[in-house]
Amino acid sequence: MHLKREKALWVYERMVLIRKFEDKVHDLFSAGKIPGFVHLYAGEEAVAVGVCAHFRTDDFLTSTHRGHGHCIAKGVEVRGMMAELFGKATGSCKGKGGSMHIADVEKGMLGANGIVGGGAPLACGAALTARVKKTDQVTACFFGDGGASQGTFHEALNLASIWKLPVIFVCENNLYAEASPVKYTLNVENVADRAAGYGVPGVIADGMSFFDVYEKAGEAVRRARAGEGPTLIEAKTYRFYGHFEGDPVNYRPKDEEQAYRKRDPITDFKQKVLAKKLLKADDLEKIEKETQAEVDAALEFAESSPFPKLEEILTDVYVNYP
Ligand SMILES: Cc1ncc(C[n+]2csc(CCOP(=O)(O)OP(=O)(O)O)c2C)c(N)n1
Ligand SMILES: [Mg+2]
């Protein structure tokens, strides 16, 4: 699928920004600087960016506990995200949500989610809103292979199929749900096979390849905008770090990890755009420097920001809190 230069620059910038953000958070967490739980998206960049490359700011996205990559792909500012991880008042959610609750409604990012499978009904709600308001906004619902066995996913896919809602269900099959391998949790070969039970297209994408995800997502977005209903895309991917930061990762073979590291989606993209002469080495280098500077500035911003005031501890936590 053809990519214009401007878009290719954006794709590389977003993928590298995600990686640099996650690598930095990995180090910060190890150094004991970040409270709470963190699940990193490194390795899966091509999925979020491959889908969001088709999106407008007013399109919607629902996310998971592994949400940083979805946020960045949807245009959420990394300084607010970093401050949120630090629990600071300048965070995307004023420091009261943390990693698993980053949201930025202005950007169409409806929220990371600590509830596995929790995003699917919300995605139907956003898509129904677009339908009622007669806009052509599309919603992407990201979830994992573990989330694919939650009741919420099945109910949402059924509802979206009968109402032809403009949702793209994107399963990030990274082979494990915590420590459980997919072979243990699925009795079908592919999550995409489940689409047949709901009469919607079930498409498999190579989640380590931006171009493959981009192409498959392109058709799903076209269908959704045209009112033809939802698509289930299963992106076969891999997380480079453990399930959560601090995970000793003693449940998956080291040679498997190395094999996937060799298929790094960022390296893959880089090689392809250079070979196609779509971008130059200088373009890529510039982006690598700028994204590193952006992450460093985000860290400085987060560290120098204040914590929320004690008297505001309950504001913004409940909608109707006085
Ligand atoms: C409803 C619910 N059940 C269990 C958990 C605990 N939990 C958190 S992440 C996770 C595994 C999710 O696996 P998957 O959907 O494959 O996503 P991945 O972590 O691989 O990205 C589980 C079981 C939870 N947060 N919510
Ligand atoms: Mg998984």
Nearest Cα to Cα of residue 141 among 258, 62, 24: 62
In a domain, 156, yes or no: yes
Q: Which ligand is the nearest neighbour of the Cα of 40?
A: 1
Ligand 2 centroid to residue 54 C-alpha, Å? 24
| Tokens 């979805």, residue located | 70
pLDDT at 1: 62
Find the residues whose C-beta lies inside 6 A of ligand 1.
64-66, 114-116, 144-147, 172, 174, 176-178, 243
DSSP string, 203-243: EEEETT-HHHHHHHHHHHHHHHHTT---EEEEEE---SS-S
Which positions ≥6 away from 173 have C-beta within 8 Å?
144, 145, 148, 182, 190, 191, 207, 234, 235, 236, 237
- Does residue 318 sit within a domain? no
Atom of ligand 1 nearest to the CA of 173: 16
The pTM score is: 0.98
Of 39, 178, 184, 191, which is best to mutate to test ligand 1, by the most ligand atoms within 8 angstroms of its C-beta? Answer: 178
For 120, the domain range is 5-175+182-302
Distances (CA, A) of 26 to 38, 40, 113, 195, 299: 9, 8, 20, 35, 13
pLDDT of amino acid 167: 98
Instruction: For ligand 1, pick from 38, 116, 236 the residue to mutate: most ligand atoms within 8 Å of CB.
Output: 116
Could you tell me if residue 319 is inside a domain?
no
The predicted-structure confidence for 34-75, as pLDDT tens digits, reads as follows: 999 999 999 999 999 999 999 999 999 999 999 999 999 999
Distance from residue 149's CA to the centre of ligand 1 (Å): 10
Q: For residue 313, is it within any domain? A: no
- pLDDT tens-place string over residues 257-273: 999 999 999 999 999 99
Mapped onto helix, strand or coil, the DSSP state of residue 104 is strand
For residue 214, give every residue at least 6 positions away whose Cβ sits within 8 Å of its Cβ, in sequence order, or none.
1, 3, 11, 50, 53, 54
317 found inside a domain: no
d(C-alpha 169, C-alpha 185), whole Å: 19
Determine which residue's CA is closest to atom 6 belonging to ligand 1.
116
Probe residue for ligand 1, chosen from 38, 41, 44, 65 as the CB with the greatest number of ligand atoms within 8 Å: 65
Atom of ligand 1 at shortest distance to CA of 143? 15
Where residue 123 sits, what CATH number does that domain have? 3.40.50.970
Q: Report pLDDT digits (tens) over 187-215.
A: 999 999 999 999 999 999 999 999 999 99
Smallest Cα–Cα separation from 260: which of 273, 249, 245?
249
The answer to whether residue 309 is domain-embedded is: no
Give distance in angstroms: CA of 85 to centre of ligand 1: 19
Please report the pLDDT score of residue 309 as a whole number.
Answer: 96
Work out the average pLDDT over 65-94: 98
- CB-CB contact of 159 with 220 (8 Å): no
**Is it the case that residue 115 has pLDDT exceeding 90?**
yes
Q: How far is the CA of 47 from the centre of ligand 2 (A)?
A: 13
Q: What is the pLDDT of residue 246?
A: 95
DSSP for 151-208 reads HHHHHHHHHHHHTT--EEEEEEE-SEETTEEHHHH-SSS-GGGGGGGGTS-EEEEETT
Q: Locate 291 and state its tokens.
A: 């994204």
Cα(147) to ligand 1 centroid in Å equals 7
* Residue 163, burial from CB neighbour count under 10 angstroms (0-12, 13-18, 19+): middle
Any domain includes 14? yes
Nearest residue (by CA) to ligand 1, atom 20, is 177
End-to-end CA distance of the chain, in Å?
Answer: 52
**Per-residue confidence (pLDDT) for residue 130, from 0 to 100:** 97
Give the pLDDT confidence score for residue 321 in this predicted structure.
55
Q: Is residue 252 part of a domain?
A: yes
CA 95 – CA 88 distance, rounded (Å): 4
d(CA 73, CA 75): 5
* pLDDT value, residue 314: 85
Kindly indicate the confidence band of residue 315, based on its pLDDT and cuts at 50, 70 and 90: confident
| C-alpha to C-alpha distance for 189 and 6, rounded to whole angstroms | 38
Model confidence at 322, pLDDT cuts 50, 70, 90, reads low
**Cα 174 to ligand 2 centroid, rounded to whole Å:** 5
Domain count, the chain: 1
Ligand number nearest to the C-alpha of 41: 1
pLDDT at 317: 83
- What pairing do the DSSP bridges indicate for beta strands 167-173 and 231-236? parallel
